[in-house]
Structure 1
Amino acid sequence: MQTPISRYWWVFLLRGIAALLIGLLAIFVPGITFGTLVLFLGAYMFIDGIFSIIAGISARKQSRDWGWYIVSGLFGIIIGVITFANPFATGIALIYIAGVWAIVAGIVEIIVAVRLRKEITGEGWYIAGGILTILFGILIFINPVAGALTLTIIFGIYAIVAGVMLVSLSMRLRKKYKSHRSIPVT
């Protein structure tokens, strides 16, 4: 029996191709790609904000928390508008958030490694990873433009890997779909 998902193998192929193209753009044209990603993020927040408000209004009779949907929606719309009005400011904010995240994550990695030193061996590698993560966060604060380019290239590598995996999956689903189509139904 054919599984329903194999019938849609081509969706995974299209997603994989899109991820590959975005990944290549992120690696070879990181500045433009970062700016585009910021604008897409702004558009997403704006549209999501509209739908959150619609959900809040629709749920006002069924849910006591409907007001939070409205607040979330308004926040999304405001951030979306700010992003379109000044994408540079939003991009810089995202870079600094990533920098703070890296510093905090690095500190946590070091704390966990120190606490685990009695239970594991090689905790020095985890400590070294934490230090590198902190240094990455500090470098983002020192040079945010390089941080944006680095984050975009890392995203590009991720997108390429994800794209290859999706294309591979689509080929396997296509093979399964074709093999099930050729079996006569009795």
Structure 2
Amino acid sequence: METVENYRGTYKYWWIMLIIGILSILCGIWVFRNPVESYFALAVYFCIMFILFGIGEIVNAFSNQRVRNWGWGLAIGILDLIIGFILLANLEWAIDILPFAVGFILMFLGIDFIGWSTQMQTFRIPNWGWVLAGGILTLIFSFLIIFHPLFGVFNIIIWTGLAFIFGGISAVMFSFALRK
């Protein structure tokens, strides 16, 4: 039977989640302070992340050639790399699909926080409710981004900023719970 100490012991680098949370909160504040610049920055960031994920998948595929079906990871990596470079060369396309990309990324992040909160509750780690609330709010904001992207740049900026802030708060609370 696992104990709270065993659960926390697997997260000796709790401070990484704290840094991610703080950076996420700061990013959310920056989004509100610089709405036009942040929208274009998000589009460029989106393109760069596709490229970095592609490189990561390619490196992972080559380092795991003994694993069955490693070629699919290589193919996905190459596809991500190509999509990233195409979008970076055509930022108008990236700007158009940005609400959907951000919405889906935040949706998966919200689901992660909800899952982490249930694990925290199972191990009776305090503040699991804050992580759950942050995950639910991140999920709600992600759905608003996905299903209402036509409200314009203003809408994506507000929901993205709020999602970064609530996701950051959840990450900070999660890191404090792991630290104890």
Whether the TM-score (by the shorter chain) exceeds 0.5 is yes
1:75 maps to 2:88: no
1:136-175 maps to which residues of 2 (within 5 A)? 137=148, 140=150, 146-174=151-179
Q: What percentage of aligned pairs have identical amino acids? A: 28
The alpha-carbon deviation at position 81 of structure 1 amounts to 0.9
SS in 2 for 1:38: helix
| Change over 3 Å in CA distance of 1:16–1:94 after alignment to 2 | closer
1:48 maps to 2:53: yes
Provide the rounded CA distance (Å) in 2 between the counterparts of 1:46 and 1:6: 29
1:14 maps to 2:28: no
The alpha-carbon deviation at position 76 of structure 1 amounts to 0.9
| Change over 3 Å in CA distance of 1:164–1:70 after alignment to 2 | closer
1:51-130 maps to which residues of 2 (within 5 A)? 51-60=56-65, 62-63=67-68, 65-95=69-99, 97=100
Q: CA RMSD in A?
A: 3.1
The alpha-carbon deviation at position 156 of structure 1 amounts to 0.8
Of 28, 31, 34, the residue aligned with 2:36 is 31
The alpha-carbon deviation at position 70 of structure 1 amounts to 2.9
The 8 Å contact of residues 82 and 90 in structure 1, kept in 2 or not, is answered as no
Runs of 5+ in structure 1 lacking a partner?
102-132, 141-145, 177-186
Query: When the two structures are aligned, how many residues end up with a matched partner?
Result: 132
TM, length-normalised to structure 1: 0.56
| Change over 3 Å in CA distance of 1:56–1:14 after alignment to 2 | closer
CA deviation digits over 1:70-94, x for unaligned, max 9?
Answer: 3212211111112222223211133
SS in 1 for 2:171: helix
The alpha-carbon deviation at position 154 of structure 1 amounts to 0.3
